[in-house]
Amino acid sequence: MASNSFGEIFRLTTFGESHGVAIGGIIDGCPPGLLLNQDFIQAELDRRRPGQNELTSQRNEYDRVEFLSGVFENLTTGAPIAFLVTNKDHRPDDYAHLKDLYRPSHADFVYHQKYGVRDYRGGGRSSARETLSRVVAGAVAKLFLRQNGISIIAFVKSIGQLSMDIIDYNIDPTTVEASAVRCPDPLLTDSMQKLIVETKNAGDTLGGEISCIIRGVPAGLGEPVFDKLHADLGKAMLSINAVKGFEIGSGFKGARMKGSEHNDQFVQQEGKIVTLTNHSGGIQGGISNGEAIYFNVGFKPIATLMMDQLSVDKEGNETIVKGKGRHDVCVVPRAVPIVEAMAALVIIDHMLRRQAYIF
């Protein structure tokens, strides 16, 4: 009920605070007999760590995942898969000055209101370090999806005011990873990098958007009423730190179109029923239709600034929050593997949910 779990059949439960002993989780319900390629999983985890280049935070968080159970002779056994990442570079003293402060647009105030007690070290449980566990579990899910012909690619669509206009559903993952900001457009990549440097120098921060494309999903995934496939994808994305918006297919633009423009015409091609356009984003009535699934996620700018801000302490007295510590200017490039991981968790779960009825 406190809901540190995600998924119905392939179910991840996570634990850990940013400056505690470790971050980790348990995956319950992974199909048995899956080859658990630990190099792939570690590589996925490396994609989200900071310090990958000069554009991201300089903390030396080299996160190594360790598996504790559920794997025998490299195969999953059907037993729960526990894993953890030990916190090495934690410096709780960096946060002592925040003990009694409520940082603007952080979770300090609401945690205090909710729990009465608060682990103030680096955001505690509210830190984005929690997403480490999602990336590990998402990588396990990806191994299964890959075997079933499903691929997931996310990329940076916009940073601040700089945005791609046209999205190619057949995007190549190598062009994404080749970009320092994970934007497949090389020109835009350059502008984004400049913008990040300028913003960093100003002590300010940036938000942006990530798009995600899932190919190879068979028709029939998703439940028709409350657990529509895009509703579950939406919840998954909105559960990521700093996300403020989600749209599937045509999204908010679709709300301005006429029905005659928006409808996706069915045709037969090579013996298969497909649609000529894909404003539906691969999902109709909450159920995948076999086309590419496409969605878009909006992230607010990071709340921790390298400048002084006015705020209050827990007695309500006015105080100044100093800008210090090691922080990203823009989290969006690092969030790309997190978006993919959450998408993978939703898709594998709905594959297993559907399979339950196939007799």
Interacting residues with its own copies between 73 and 102 (CB under 8 A) = 73, 75-82, 84, 102
Phi, psi of 275 (to 5 degrees): -110, 150
Tell me the residue type at 293: I
Residue 291: half-sphere exposure toward Cβ, Cα within 13 Å: 24
β-partners of residue 6 are 12
Query: Which residue number, 85 or 153, has a Cβ lying nearer to its own copies?
Result: 85
Listing from the earlier edge strand, what are the strands of the sheet with 101-102? Answer: 101-102, 309-313, 318-321
Give the pair of three-digit tokens for residue 331. 């989290």
Q: Residue 255 Cβ, how far from its own copies at the closest point, in Å?
A: 4
Choosing from 249, 292, 293, 340, the residue that interacts with its own copies (CB under 8 A) is 249
Task: Say whether 49 sits in a helix, a strand or coil.
Answer: coil
Site for its own copies in 125-144 (CB under 8 A): 125-126, 130
Residues 318-337 that bind its own copies (CB under 8 A): 318
Q: Is 290 in the site for its own copies (CB under 8 A)?
A: yes
- Asked if residue 286 lies in contact with residue 279, where contact means CB atoms within 8 angstroms, the answer is no
Q: Which is nearer to its own copies, 160 or 333 (CB)?
A: 160
3-state secondary structure of 276: coil
Site for its own copies in 2-21 (CB under 8 A): 2-6, 8-9, 11, 13-17, 20-21
CB of 174 to its own copies, least distance (A): 26
- d(Cα 299, Cα 230) in Å, to the nearest integer? 18
Does 310 interact with its own copies (rule: CB under 8 A)? yes
Piece in contact with its own copies (CB under 8 A), picked from 39-47, 50-58, 179-187, 347-355: 347-355
Residue 122 lies near its own copies (rule: CB under 8 A) = no
Note whether 72 binds its own copies by CB under 8 A.
Answer: yes
Which of 38, 42, 46, 109 is in the footprint of its own copies by CB under 8 A? 109
CB 129 within 8 A of CB 21: no
